[in-house]
Amino acid sequence: MLLVNQIRENYDLVLAGLQKRNISNAAEVLAKVIALDDLRKSSQSQRDQIQAEANTISKQIGQLMKEGKTEEANAIRERTAEIKIQIKELDEQNAKAEEDLRALLYTIPNVPHTSVPSGKTAEDNEVVLEHGQIPSLFEGKLPHWELIKKHDIIDFDLGIKITGAGFPVYKGKGARLQRALINFFLDQALAAGYLEVQPPILVNEDSGYGTGQLPDKEGQMYFASADNLYLIPTAEVPITNLYRDVILNEGDLPIKNVGYTPCFRREAGSWGAHVRGLNRLHQFDKVEIVQITHPDQSYEALESMSSYVQGLLQKLELPYRVLRLCGGDMGFTSALTYDMEVYSAAQERWLEVSSVSNFETYQTNRLKLRFKGEDKKTQLAHSLNGSALALPRIVAAILENNQTPEGINMPKVLHPYLGFDKI
C-alpha cells in the first residue's frame, strides 16, 4: 500500500498517477487519507500531553504523601482518574483512526511509474517491440482445442467429470509436455542465478494482504473456509511472503527466487470464444520468478527480467511482442508492467503468457519487508515478479504454430526433456 508520507510529500505526483489509472475521485480519496492521518496524529499528540500531565501529577502525589499532605494528594488523585478516562478515550480514537486509515489505504492502487502510458483498456497498451516471424500455416490448420482432441493429449471432458470446467486432464505426450516445460523453465532460471523454492499452495489471510491479492482480488480466489486459507492464484504470493516481517542486510540484495506451482483462479465472469480451450483455465501450472532489490536497482532488475522472459520465448521459437501496460490495464499493485504475448497462428491472435512487474514499495510496505544499509538505517526494499512462464497459452501456441499435416513438431530445446520430437 502507499505510504502516507509518500502521499503528503508527493501529493501532485500521487494524484496524477491515480488519475492515470482513471480513478475519478482520487482527490477525494487522498483528502480522506490526510484527514484520517491528521486525526491519528492529533489524538496521539493529545494523549502524549495528558500522559505527561499524569506523570507530573504522580510525582506531585508522591511528594505530598512524603510531606504528610494527604488531603492535597487525594484531591490531585481525582484529576488522575479523569486523565485515565481521557487516555482510554484517546487510545480508542487513535486505534479507530489507524484502522480506518489502513482500510482506506488498502483500497488505493499503486502509483504508476511516469513511463506508464495513459489509457483505459488493453487497446491503449504500448507495443514496445515485436520479435520473430509469424508462421504461415497450411490450409486446414486447427486451433489447439481441436488438435488436443485429434492427438488425445488433453481431455477437458474428463476434467469436467472429475471437477468442472476449466480443470483439464493432461495425458500421454500432453502430460510429458507439461513436465518438460516446467523443468526447462526451472533449469533456465537456475542458470540465471535464481534460487529454487517450493512453497505451499495454500496461504493465510496475512499473506494475501501482504502481496495485495486481498482485498482487491478476494472474489477471484478459491477460499477454504473451514481453515480460512486461500488457494494461490500465483506463486508470487507465497514466495514474496517468505520475506514478510524480515529485515535484510543490504549485502543480501538482490534476492532472486524461482518456484513452480499450480495456480488457481475462479475467473468469474469469463466467457466467449477467447477463453476456449487452454486460453482461460481455473487451474494451471506456472513457473514464477521473484526479486527483492535495492530501490535504486529495481528498474534495472525489471528490464533484466523482461529480457530473461523474452529469452525463454526465443528458445521456444515463438513469435512474441512486449507491451507496456497503460494506466487503466495495469494490475492493482504494480507501478510498471510489461506483458509478453505470443502469436497463436491458428487463432490468429496474440495471447498473453507473462507479466513482469515492479511494485516498488507497494508490497514491501504491507509486508514490512526492509533492509539495513551500511548506515544501519532501515528502509523498504522493492519487490518484483514475473511469469517465466505460464504454461497453458505457451502450450496452445506451441501446438498451433508447429502443426503440420504429419503431426506437431516440438521446439528443439525441449527434445532432451520430452524424449520425443513430434506429437
At residue 173, does pLDDT exceed 90? yes
What is the model's pLDDT at position 78? 74
Do 306 and 337 touch, CB atoms closer than 8 A? no
Share of residues in the chain with pLDDT > 90 (%): 86
In order, the DSSP letters of 98-152 are: HHHHHHHHHTSPPPPPTTSPP-SSGGGPEEEEEESPPP-PPTT---HHHHHHHHT
Task: Give residue 76's pLDDT band: very low, low, confident or very high (50, 70, 90).
Answer: confident
Please report where in the chains the cell 502510458 appears, as a residue: 117
At residue 64, does pLDDT exceed 90? no
What is the model's pLDDT at position 83? 87
Do 262 and 235 touch, CB atoms closer than 8 A? no
State pLDDT tens for residues 292-304. Answer: 999 999 999 999 9
What is the model's pLDDT at position 268? 61
What is the model's pLDDT at position 315? 98
With CA atoms as reference, report the closest residue to 401 among 30, 58, 125, 144.
Answer: 144
The whole model's pTM is what? Answer: 0.91
Bond from prior residue into 215 cis (ω within 30 degrees of 0) = yes
Task: Give residue 270's pLDDT band: very low, low, confident or very high (50, 70, 90).
Answer: low
Ranges 15-29, 71-85, 216-230: which has the least confidence: 71-85
Is the model more confident about 55 or about 40? Answer: 40
Ranges 47-61, 82-96, 391-405: which has the least confidence: 47-61
> In 328-401, at which residue ranges do the beta strands (DSSP E only) sit?
336-344, 349-358, 370-372, 378-380, 382-390
Task: Give residue 217's pLDDT band: very low, low, confident or very high (50, 70, 90).
Answer: confident
At residue 211, does pLDDT exceed 80? yes
Q: What value does the mean pLDDT take over residues 248-252?
A: 96
Give the Cβ contact number of residue 206 at 10 Å.
Answer: 13
What is the model's pLDDT at position 364? 98
What is the model's pLDDT at position 34? 97
Share of residues in the chain with pLDDT > 70 (%): 98
- Taking the CA of residue 298 as centre, how many other CA atoms within 13 Å lie in the half-sphere pointing to its CB? 26
Residue 102 C-alpha cell reads as 489502513
Q: What value does the mean pLDDT take over residues 197-226?
A: 95
What is the model's pLDDT at position 5? 95
With CA atoms as reference, report the closest residue to 323 among 114, 112, 21, 117.
Answer: 117
Please report where in the chains the cell 482510554 appears, as a residue: 88
With CA atoms as reference, report the closest residue to 420 among 121, 76, 177.
Answer: 177
State pLDDT tens for residues 322-378. Answer: 999 999 999 999 999 999 999 999 999 999 999 999 999 999 999 999 999 888 999
